[in-house]
Amino acid sequence: MSALRLLALSYLAAASVFTLTGVLQARPGLWRGAVFSAHQLSDRVAREVLAPALERVRRHDVTLLDSLDHPAVARLAIAPMQPGEERLLAGRASAVQEPRALEPADARLAETEFRVSPLIEILPDLPPEDLPKPPAPKLAPPHAPVPDVRIAKPVEKKAAPAWRIPEPPDATLGNRAMAASQRLKAGLSEDMLNNFDLFLYVSKAERGPLAQRMYVFQKQQGGGLKLAYDWAASTGREKNEVSPRGRASFTATPQGYYQLDPERMYRRYRSYSWDQPMPNAMFFNWERQGLQTVLAIHAASGEDVSKLGQRNSAGCIHLSPENAATLQDMIRANYRGPVPRFAYNESTRTMSNKGAFMRDREGRLKMADGYRVLVYIEDYGGRDMVAALF
């Protein structure tokens, strides 16, 4: 075919496509009708031509397979089994092999690769009449009197506490309270007495009648202090230790005066450094070297509860779970208000814990919102003072 004819055919094909496209664009319904007619035609061919042809092929295959005489195919007509009847499948009888002794090589193979399991004797099932029968219930005579049966109410047993807080053996509660009150008053300034309403005196001493306890005093209208609670506590272990996070620290509770941080009071908290829970945590508002410390009062947990009354914390002040909840509830409900701010050293970026307060140029205290609660911690066991009170 010459190039001129090819060019003519190409021109005709392009013109046909162009014409068909123009017709379809001008009449879109014509395209939808053509598609619908094509679908109808394909469905009719599949129904009237393909389906009968496939059915004839299938019948031919079935007839061919049924006519084959395959030696491995057997057709059996098996009647239903009768009660007590046993049947065995008939097949080629296998040759009976006589037992043989293991050769040395086989014996070694058996020792290394196989283990002979012990023989297990399976006992036959007992028939129903041989099974033990439960004893028949004893029935009362028809006219026997009905006994008066009274069901006793179960006695509620109170669970014993899992821990016990030891009390100091050498001082009564009154003498301890008096000694703690005198010691607290001796360390309070006039500004402290005037601007705080609740005082927590904590002895971090290792021994003594006041040691490892918290004394909670409420200020009265006349300025006096009344003991509200006397609780066993635990302060720092006073040791060089490494936390579970690998941080070396000295687990001590520092002495001094502290306020509570109103922004860091939690019902549930967990120490990141020591990986321990801190329920009812109340953190101190004490900044040291530019960082807020993690010193706090909170509930002991786990085995630490049984160790209250001795040094056992990483620096915080531990109380029993009940006492820690009581203290936080009381402080939240009754002691929110303005309090004086402790002095701040700009060079060391450390807040004072010695009792010094910030003042303006006129000498007035600088106040801030917080809790009117003052915590006083000292290393004093009170043995000499309590002994003088007897």
Mean pLDDT in residue range 13-19: 75
344-368 burial: b if 16+ Cβ within 10 Å, else e? eeeeeebbbbebebbeeeeeebeee
| pTM of the predicted structure, to 2 decimals | 0.57
pLDDT of residue 5: 75
Checking if the pLDDT of 131 tops 50, the result is no
Q: Which domains does the chain have, with CATH numbers?
A: 173-388 (2.40.440.10)
| pLDDT score, position 227 | 96
CB 334 within 8 A of CB 245: no
Mean pLDDT, the chain, rounded, equals: 78
Q: Whole-angstrom Cα distance, residue 46 to residue 52?
A: 9
pLDDT value at 26 more than 90: no
Percent of the chain with pLDDT over 90: 49
Q: Residues 274-293: pLDDT tens digits?
A: 999 999 999 999 999 988 99
Q: 319 near 214, Cβ under 8 Å?
A: yes
Which phi and psi angles does 320 have, rounded to 5°?
A: -65, 155
Residue-wise pLDDT for 203-243, tens only, equals 999 999 999 999 999 999 988 999 999 999 999 999 999 99
> What three-state secondary structure class fits 198?
strand
pLDDT at 326: 97
Question: What does the DSSP assignment read for 313-376?
Answer: BSSSEEE-HHHHHHHHHHHHHH-EEEEEPBPEETTTTEE--SS-B-B-TTSPBPEEEEESEEEE
Q: Does 195 score more than 90 pLDDT?
A: yes
User: If we measure between CA atoms, which residue out of 216, 385, 204, 382 comes closest to residue 310?
Assistant: 204
Return the number of other C-beta atoms located less than 10 Å from residue 325's C-beta.
15
pLDDT at 175 > cutoff 80: yes
